[in-house]
Structure 1
Amino acid sequence: MKRSLVAAAVVAALGLLSMGLLGALVYLLAAPVLWPVYGNFEHWSGDDVWPAMIGAGMLWALGFLAAGWLNGRLAHAAWPKWQRRAVYGLVLWLSAVAIWALLLATMDIRLS
């Protein structure tokens, strides 16, 4: 869990300091699910596009906390390391999809 806490802190800082680049990369990670509905983020418009990009990068840090907590629970249950790593990655991917789906549903982002 310690590594996940450090990763979450680093990701939250990078989400802010990268000025939206991390949020764009997180969207590309979630693109297999979101692309058919929302398309390319370069075609979005609205006042909340840039804040959503920054916010997505920062909020993705929560995925690291959830993945670290679940990894600890699975380690206690004696799951093999490769399975725990696969679950860790799956949690990060699902958190990327959930964060972007939430932001796109609640913010002023229009498709053009």
Structure 2
Amino acid sequence: MQRTTKGIHRDELVITLDGLQFKTLASQGQRKSLLFALKLASYDYIARVKQVIPILLLDDVFEKLDEDRMINLLGQVTDQAKGQIFITDTHAARLKTAFEKLEKDYQLIELKDTPDG
């Protein structure tokens, strides 16, 4: 099949709110916020149980979020996570602006396309 067909990424997690599936009644921003909450909860759990600080990887999580929600979620992540955080984003300027508004230290690594692809 040339892809993984089993594992936690294939499992369906059903979250309900007032008896209705959250994914059907929530906006994209609300779903992303819930994803952040789950990521931070698992990060905290691993840190407590394993007594190590995990690396937090967030891949293109700010896409389709308004600026206020993005800055709020980024603030939550940077306040809670004590180790390294790797965030990918297709808009480097947006991420840079958010870190500056939060007055957080960061290192930006940009990958540029080469002329030959």
Structure-1-length-normalised TM-score: 0.29
Q: Which has the higher strand share?
A: 2
Q: Which has the higher helix share?
A: 1
Structure number with bigger Rg: 2
Structure-2-length-normalised TM-score: 0.28
